[in-house]
Amino acid sequence: MIVRRSMDELHKLRRSGLLVYQILEDLRQMASEGVTTHDLEVAAEKKIADAGARPAFKGYYTQASGTRYPFVLCTSVNEEVVHGMPSAKRKLRRGDIVSIDTGVLLDGYYGDSAITVAIGEVNDSVQRLLKITEESLELAIDRVRAGNRLFDVCGAVEKHVTANGFSIVREFVGHGIGTSLHEEPQIPNYVDRRGENPRLKPGMVLAIEPMVNAGKAETKVLADKWTAVAKDGSYSAHFEHMVAVTDNGPWVLSRP
């Protein structure tokens, strides 16, 4: 069942979304050569606690992994697509990219967003990967309008990514969000004709998150049961925003 939120609930979700936005912006500034992904984790955990919120990811259980996720951040470096685990041994190096994904629970409502950050100078092909992935998110956001269908959102990502020669990860998708971190509907970054294609209505909230590989789309999960990587070792980018459907068009809840 897809839940439609009241305006009061949307404002609560916006508070959570803006907290995640501020944390990610702080981590964007912090992410630099020599910093470890554990350093980012420590900083994020303190920021969440200082805001009176709870981390959304820490302790999250999935049947696929059979374990609870032990961190507040997912820090996915280079060929890591999603769910990369922070480590004191993983120093960021010039030329790396790191996807930072985090979520919070604040006053009963979740926030969830992700960015991918370049460490120092990266080559033109990597810059283009980041640019196209982020553009695909913006194009999808523009389709979050009452009366459109979910496939309009999914197709906007797919069309832009594939037209520019990159590959869409299919194993991981976006989702609804509200009083649970993951709610209906699932939001693939491609048009899945086997899936449902609901009409978008005011009050629906979508966490849209393109995950795009520079090489082939196939992924595999490492022995830690969480970290998903591009099978061919190519770089992968990930951006995410929470977007509400309103009578006046899309309302991005996870940025000012």
Render 124-152 in DSSP notation, one character per residue: HHHHHHHHHHHHHHHHHHHT--TT-BHHH
For residues 130 and 118, is the Cβ–Cβ distance under 8 A?
yes
For residues 202-209, give the mean pLDDT.
Answer: 98
pLDDT at 195: 87
What band does 11 get if pLDDT is binned at 50, 70 and 90?
Answer: very high
Task: Summarize pLDDT for 119-134 with one digit per residue, the tens.
Answer: 999 999 999 999 999 9
**Sheet of 219-221, strand order:** 80-82, 228-230, 219-221
Residue with tokens 């500034």: 29
pLDDT at 60: 97
DSSP 146-179: TT-BHHHHHHHHHHHHHHTT-EE--S--EEE-SS
Task: Summarize pLDDT for 123-170 with one digit per residue, the tens.
Answer: 999 999 999 999 999 999 999 999 999 999 999 999 999 999 999 999
**CA 103 to each of CA 54, 109, 125, 146: distance values in angstroms, whole numbers, following the listed order:** 9, 10, 29, 26
Q: How many CB atoms lie within 10 A of CB 139?
A: 17
CA distance 170 to 151: 15
- Please list the residues that pair with 97 across neighbouring strands: 118
* φ, ψ at 44 (rounded to 5°): -65, -40
For 161, the 3-state DSSP assignment is: helix
Structural domain spans, the chain: 7-252
pLDDT at 83: 98
Query: Token pair of 9, please?
Result: 């609930």
For residues 213 and 190, is the Cβ–Cβ distance under 8 A?
no
For residues 172 and 81, is the Cβ–Cβ distance under 8 A?
yes
- Give the domain 7-252 fold: Creatine Amidinohydrolase (3.90.230)
* φ, ψ at 77 (rounded to 5°): -100, 130
Task: Summarize pLDDT for 35-93 with one digit per residue, the tens.
Answer: 999 999 999 999 999 999 999 999 999 998 999 999 999 999 999 999 999 999 999 99
For residues 180 and 167, is the Cβ–Cβ distance under 8 A?
no
